Amino acid sequence: MFFRQLLHEEKACLSYIVGCLSKGVAAVIDPQQDIQPYLHITTQNHLNITHIIETHVQADHYSGAEALSKTVSAPIYFHRNAPVTFDYQKLKENDVLTIGNRRIRVIHTPGHTDESITLFVDDWFLLTGDTLFVGDVGRVDLSLKTNSIDVREKAKKLYDSLFNKLLKLPDYIEIYPGHYSGSLCGKSLDGKPSSTIGREKRFNHTLQFSSDEDAFIKLMMTDAPPPPLYRKIKRKNLGLRSY
């Protein structure tokens, strides 16, 4: 397996490359606007980018998915609920993407957004996007049109995604999130950019509400400062002409 976690310090974002050296292919997950690091790393390691996967429509930074797709002639993958205006390959629950000898299973984990997915790589580790962080979980109030009813519904979906899907997995499963400490996409993210299911079940404060859905929803509806220009960024990442 080829695996790289890329730290983007300006907004405390994380993106990933998962590849197969024997077959010479790779997937890029949640690419940033500057696509050169992905091109450099894959070229150095003799890998062709065959898949570009977005775990959700980003709200805090501009995506590089379209630019990377045009450069390497690889398709972009989103969950089928993604409301983007450009062409993409539609994913659904339990779809499996084959990256050489690697297998990536799609887990639909709505809450942060309706199209949010978690990627389960080789039944070994999770790329959790903005659903589950180290020390925190994703926000549910970054839609273009946000109201209390919408936020509450997203919080209920996030509760189900966390407690009835991800936390049902074995404790030894590793997690690699979309952000670390310093990001405004969560309230109390840890500075360590990886963890395990077991560690988060024990120490992640937000995950202590497994038996109290109402308390979890109330916590999710607590106000927090939004990322700067998030509406403009999200509209651009949706492919809307006016942003």
At 22 the pLDDT is 98
Residue 59 burial by Cβ neighbours in a 10 Å radius (0-12, 13-18, 19+): buried
Reduce the DSSP state of residue 156 to 3 states and report it: helix
At 242 the pLDDT is 58
Reduce the DSSP state of residue 192 to 3 states and report it: coil
At 106 the pLDDT is 98
Query: Hey, what's the torsion of the CAs at 143, 15, 194, 122, to 10 degrees?
Result: 100
The DSSP output letter for 8 is E
Residue 29 burial by Cβ neighbours in a 10 Å radius (0-12, 13-18, 19+): buried
User: Which residue, chain included where needed, has tokens 């009813």?
Assistant: 149
At 66 the pLDDT is 97
Distance CA 242, CA 63 (A): 16
Max distance between CA atoms of the chain, in angstroms, equals 50
Structure tokens at 14: 């994380």
How does pLDDT run along the chain (243 residues), one tens digit per residue? Answer: 999 999 999 899 999 999 999 999 999 999 999 999 999 999 999 999 999 999 999 999 999 999 999 999 999 999 999 999 999 999 999 999 999 999 999 999 999 999 999 999 999 999 999 999 999 999 998 887 777 888 999 999 999 999 999 999 999 999 999 999 999 888 889 999 999 999 999 999 999 999 999 999 999 988 777 788 888 999 999 998 654
Of 124, 117, 102, 105, nearest to 170 by C-alpha is 124
The whole model's pTM is what?
Answer: 0.95
Q: Which CATH architecture has domain 2-238?
A: 4-Layer Sandwich (3.60)
Terminal-residue alpha carbon distance, the chain: 39
Pairing of strands 25-29, 13-20: antiparallel
